[in-house]
Structure 1
């Protein structure tokens, strides 16, 4: 692949990132009650005022990361929006859990900040931690870092000690499950909390990081030929649809998480596992050879998945694939990985960006036609697209700065 091609990708990605940031700056800010609107139509019109805590935390994190690490985004409006979003989260996201005496984060809030729904999972708390830690880095507020670490301790307790504190009773027919999303998110948080911090913080989370990696690696199944989304807590395949489920996007995201972890630890064996298992296997299983793009869900035995959207093409798996393959190439210089990036890039940039309205469509049919034309919703906000563009721009900058 020529240097010119790398430069073309970088310029298109840079331009697209600027456009995406401008879209959310223009349409998503609630200047009355704080926080962000995320249910945005094709033209940016707010079609629902509910505020989803996952997306509030993600938007604070993304604004802060851009502001902190990229000179052209070191703008007053971005910092003030991040601070306002963080303030909204701190005031309203946390609600007391009557069953445990601990605090939970709501899943959904009214525009004014009243809790609407709480999920019995850890993910609202995960994105709250990411937001507080990154906001603390930008503002220098040590209380935010402390708050993030305190909630992290509660999260670790829920996952490793007592999940019943989440309000989920252990039912007699329910089999405890290792769902890949949980160790993935904890590993992401370990990397967030330890990045550029002192040895004391790194050591604090060292064992947890290794535990997360071990849990993720249990999802390599079928004699190393498949990544399964759910396994037993002993690392064995589960029966039925749940056990056969594959999620190529999640596997690819886990792949680049593992790649970052392996680089920090100097673990070449883990690097190869991240690439050969968590990047190559999802591509072989999930790439639609007829229409292009990555399928959303698959059944490892070839049955039709029960998820109604299984054969749709969603924005976020393609974002994860772009990060994964470009990062893998930057670590190894294996040309086939750059070819894979190129293939995903061509599909992604010819299908998801909306040249007319700005930002990206999120949900396409199997054939690649827009199925849902909104730009934001309960699960799509200011996160996967800008994180992908940001990370790919930086990876390409590094590659072009080290042409040899």
Structure 2
């Protein structure tokens, strides 16, 4: 039986997360639509100045598609469904390669193909967004496109020798020499950053299409995480790999650690494999415990920690706080240990104080170690989307409701 103070905290948490979901989605509906060229603007700085010549990213559009499809399913607000329709139409019209299959990385501001490389990361987010759109609409074409993209990934990106998926391919499906998602990344053939959205995409796909091959590859992805990506010595997620799964760095990403903890468990539950469910629950709690050790006194997490140099990137980035809220809440649900709820709650308090842009809307990219806003990062970009914070809001609302309902049932 939970204490009255905990009940009160959960009720407040739930209400504030729901309020924040509406607030941030209002921002995207008001500011992100590109009324001249279609789709959504490709780049907007934190002062709401739009770069009208900026290219448009497939990942941004796929994340918007997922966000507003999920928000419609959560609220039944028809305005959210209209935005989802817009994202769906533009994604298929401008990013889908009708000649070679797959999803372009980027188009120009007019919607013409600009970077035709096929990043597995982008295809995964396309499946993730399209499958959520299908859950919202039951539109057959959305499922059919998911299936086509799934087969494309399995044909060109899947590695039959060592398992997992290669990061980047040419328009025609040939493995590229430069596999990086961005200039900041290492040029390694396999990464956590690609396999995590692959896991989410295949789990969401399995929800709408319980196909035998999807189940097989989803199970293989889960095993890949448990045997290769999770470092059994340190408990952290490893980030970059050779083709045969030799880790190439000792960089710790606190946000990816806590995000993977709950996403891994969720995927196992979707698959319904009891053995993997128990393994991933244990991993989720272990990852939450080790991540909790990195929490700063203000409730935040640093961006990264380099185990080789002992140096941290002390930036506090918006998506890291969002994932901390969900991951620690998940650990609380699994263990009923109050400190995990406190960790989640404290991450929200930090976000409210430093990351929510109360003047202009949405979330800031982040702040530095002196809590100064990082001016060089945008409000909307290839990498800045509504997905992490909107997903957090939906997860927190649903999880708080579940805990409260279970407590009431027990009493």
Higher mean C-alpha displacement, 133-142 vs 209-218:
133-142
For residues 283 and 157 of structure 1, what CA distance do their matches in structure 2 show? 40
Match of 1:338 in 2: 341
**Are 1:130 and 1:189, in contact at CA under 8 Å, matched by a contact in 2?**
yes
Deviation (angstroms), 1:175? 9.2
Match of 1:248 in 2: 254
TM-score w.r.t. the length of structure 1 is 0.86
2:311 equivalent to 1:275:
no
**Are 1:227 and 1:282, in contact at CA under 8 Å, matched by a contact in 2?**
no
Match of 2:295 in 1: 287
For residues 295 and 65 of structure 1, what CA distance do their matches in structure 2 show? 29
**Are 1:23 and 1:44, in contact at CA under 8 Å, matched by a contact in 2?**
no
For residues 175 and 357 of structure 1, what CA distance do their matches in structure 2 show? 37
**Are 1:120 and 1:168, in contact at CA under 8 Å, matched by a contact in 2?**
no
Higher mean C-alpha displacement, 56-65 vs 253-262:
253-262
2:270 equivalent to 1:265:
no
* CA offsets 1:173-231 (integer angstroms, 9 cap, x no match): x9965421232222111211122x46xx2533222122111222223336244332124
Match of 1:88 in 2: 90
Q: How does 1:124-273 map to 2 (within 5 A)?
A: 124-161=122-159, 163=166, 165-169=173-177, 177-195=189-207, 197=208, 201-217=210-226, 218-221=228-231, 223-238=233-248, 243-263=249-269, 264-266=272-274, 267-273=277-283
Deviation (angstroms), 1:23? 0.7
For residues 402 and 202 of structure 1, what CA distance do their matches in structure 2 show? 33
Match of 2:120 in 1: 122
2:67 equivalent to 1:62:
yes
2:106 equivalent to 1:108:
yes
Structure 1 374/182 Cα, relative in aligned 2: closer, same or farther at 3 Å? closer
Deviation (angstroms), 1:280? 2.3
For residues 117 and 144 of structure 2, what CA distance do their matches in structure 1 show? 24
For residues 232 and 214 of structure 2, what CA distance do their matches in structure 1 show? 31
Structure 1 322/166 Cα, relative in aligned 2: closer, same or farther at 3 Å? farther
TM-score w.r.t. the length of structure 2 is 0.84
Match of 2:383 in 1: 379
* CA offsets 1:366-403 (integer angstroms, 9 cap, x no match): 22221127422221012111111111111112222222
Q: Secondary structure at the match of 2:85?
A: helix
Match of 1:328 in 2: 331
For residues 245 and 43 of structure 2, what CA distance do their matches in structure 1 show? 38
Match of 2:163 in 1: none
Match of 1:3 in 2: 7
For residues 45 and 112 of structure 2, what CA distance do their matches in structure 1 show? 24
For residues 84 and 63 of structure 1, what CA distance do their matches in structure 2 show? 10
* CA offsets 1:202-261 (integer angstroms, 9 cap, x no match): 5332221221112222233362443321244444443xxxx1111111121111111213
Match of 2:55 in 1: 50
Structure 1 181/46 Cα, relative in aligned 2: closer, same or farther at 3 Å? same
After superposition, the CA RMSD in angstroms is 2.6
Q: Secondary structure at the match of 2:51?
A: strand
Match of 1:297 in 2: 304
In structure 1, runs of 5+ residues without a counterpart are none
Q: Secondary structure at the match of 1:194?
A: helix
Higher mean C-alpha displacement, 316-325 vs 182-191:
182-191
